Amino acid sequence: MDSQHAGIPLVPERSRDISAGSPRLQEVQRQLQSLAHGRCLDMVSRVFHGMPGRKARVSSGLTGSSSDLSPARARLVLHFGSYNYSGLNGHPRVLAAAGAALKRFGTTTSGVRLLNGTCELHVELERSLADFLGVEDCITYSSGYMANVSVLSTVCCEGDAVLSDVLNHRSLADGLRLSGARLLPFQHRDSRSLEAALAELPRSQRKFIVTDGIFSMDGDIADLPDLVRLARAYNAYIVLDDAHATAALGPLGRGTPAHFGLEDEVDLLTGSLSKGLPGIGGFAAGPKATIDLLRFGSCGYIFSASLPPPVIAGLIEALRILREEPERQERLHHNERFLRAGIQGLGLDCMDSASPIIPIRMPSIPTTVEMARLLQDEGIYINPVGYPAVSRNKPRLRLNVSANLEQEDLERCLEALEHCGRRLGVLSRDA
């Protein structure tokens, strides 16, 4: 007899609120309510109108109180929040290459790489990127997050030990959880903590040292020479996530290994195609034998649609420009050094930043958000960052410096920081 006719409901009574009974979603709901109470929502997920370059037009976030997203009501700002480190997003040559590929290949391959999702542009990009980074081979993924999750969940496995910096990106942590390997966190950039953990492991056990190159929230750089020393001494592999260093650090923007002259000492490199490089996606680079195994063994490659050909074409052209214009990286690093010195001169704490990522410590998240709001009113866009992206007691503004910013932009940013900092009383001296 049909269960409906027997008076038994096919679906038990339940709340229409899918978050009911989910501790994780309820925690997110509490965070959302806290943001709303603190008048923070209009500074979250702010909406950009047009291409975000040196300047951009921005309006209140989608979760804020404003429902008017008309470009006419948007504020023109200098953009100090973009991952566009190299300044290549919107470059005429990149746009032309993407446009030509759009006409030839369309918007998508409508397939995954192992079936019908590979065109000659994918092959060219991976070869060009491998050559640029100085490695044997390269594989691309649909996002940087997917690259890390796929690589670590494939390369590492049960029985392995993985020593991971506590401030590594969330994607690395998620990939390691999927791997089943034993996770041994070590204190941030602390060689003594790392060596103590390594010393307790059998030399014959497979072990990995995993680290960011540039740490995305603090802007400091991994001590790769010391990690290499320990890897040699304790028979460990090094996996390095260079998402924020590719096209932002080292000669020509070739990343953290090139910055230290240690390209041959990193066993596997992952990174992003959407930060210093002006596209979308992620990559893994290293020995050809390892990359071949990832092509046939990593789920993010096998089961995700391939990157759109127009994006691929723009990335290929961007790599050419980086090789042709070494002054682009020189300008980027001049900009970051000038801005960091100016911020510190105002008595603000940039933590241990040594890269185009410059955090500014704030006393509380409401102050952080209010500072971002005041800066936007003065025509400066900077991102406010709080928990869970950083610890609860370390909210901050985070500036991302670009090569396309001009000297007058940097000076205008410092003027606005001083003015807004005085209004909120966050300057530690009478600047």
What number of residues does the chain have?
Answer: 431
Residue 1 has pLDDT above 50, yes or no: no
Among 421, 394, 414, 380, CA closest to 46? 380
Neighbours of 242 (CB within 10 A): 32
Model confidence at 6, pLDDT cuts 50, 70, 90, reads low
Q: Is 198 left (phi over 0), alpha (psi -120 to 50) or beta?
A: alpha
Q: Report pLDDT for 152.
A: 97
Q: Report pLDDT for 202.
A: 96
Q: Return d(Cα 47, Cα 69) in angstroms, integer.
A: 8
What percentage of residues in the chain have a pLDDT greater than 70?
89
Q: Return d(Cα 44, Cα 386) in angstroms, integer.
A: 11
Model confidence at 3, pLDDT cuts 50, 70, 90, reads very low
Tell me the pTM: 0.91
CB proximity list for 263: less than 8 A, separation 6 or greater: 133, 134, 135, 254, 257
Q: What is the CATH number of domain 92-324?
A: 3.40.640.10
Active site residue ranges: 216, 244, 275
Model confidence at 43, pLDDT cuts 50, 70, 90, reads confident
- Strand partners of residue 141: 282
Q: Return d(Cα 379, Cα 282) in angstroms, integer.
A: 32
Q: Report pLDDT for 228.
A: 98
Average pLDDT, the chain: 92
Q: Report pLDDT for 329.
A: 97
For 278-307, the pLDDT digits (tens) are 999 999 999 999 999 999 999 999 999 999
More confident residue, 63 or 79: 79
Q: Report pLDDT for 9.
A: 53
What is the full DSSP assignment across 217-276? TT--B--HHHHHHHHHHHT-EEEEE-TTTTTTSSGGG--HHHHHT-GGG-SEEEEESSSS
Residue 430 has pLDDT above 80, yes or no: no
- Can you tell me the mean pLDDT for 322-345? 98
Strands (DSSP E) contained in 362-409 are 380-381, 383-385, 396-400
- Please list the residue range(s) of the chain that carry CATH number 3.40.640.10: 92-324
Superfamily of domain 32-79+326-424: Aspartate Aminotransferase, domain 1 (3.90.1150.10)
For 187-222, the pLDDT digits (tens) are 999 999 999 999 999 999 999 999 999 999 999 999
Strands (DSSP E) contained in 288-373 are 357-361
Neighbours of 376 (CB within 10 A): 21
For 48-59, the pLDDT digits (tens) are 998 889 999 998
For 248-257, the pLDDT digits (tens) are 999 999 999 9
Q: Report pLDDT for 25.
A: 74
Element of type H or E holding 132? helix 120-133
Q: Return d(Cα 45, Cα 40) in angstroms, integer.
A: 11
- Please list the residue range(s) of the chain that carry CATH number 3.90.1150.10: 32-79+326-424
